[in-house]
Amino acid sequence: MNKPPTIIDIPTPSLRQMQNYIREKQPLEIKLVTGDVLSGSLFWQDVDCLCLNGADGRNITIWKQAIAYIQPQS
């Protein structure tokens, strides 16, 4: 039985990089278009969202549309 593939099935460099950050529990800074900077490590990603394990232990579901950039913590 065939299931239609979703966009997330195409292994683009950015999806692979996020996948690496998830596997390595890399501490990250995520700058949002609101100006907020969120810190933590990634939990999962899908076509709409990233889930961040925040500094205070809460899971933060971030909409990708609101992301300006992501970088490893210095």
Residue 63 Cα distances to 33, 38, 42, 46, 67, angstroms: 11, 13, 13, 10, 7
> Which of 25, 64 has the CB closer to a copy of itself?
64
> Which of 2, 69 has the CB closer to a copy of itself?
69
Listed residue (5, 57, 66) closest to 30, CA to CA: 66
At its nearest, how many Å lie between a copy of itself and the CB of residue 58?
A: 5
**Residues in the site for a copy of itself, rule: CB under 8 A?**
4-6, 8, 10, 12-15, 17-18, 31-36, 38, 44, 46-49, 51-52, 54, 56, 58-72, 74
One-letter identity of residue 46: D
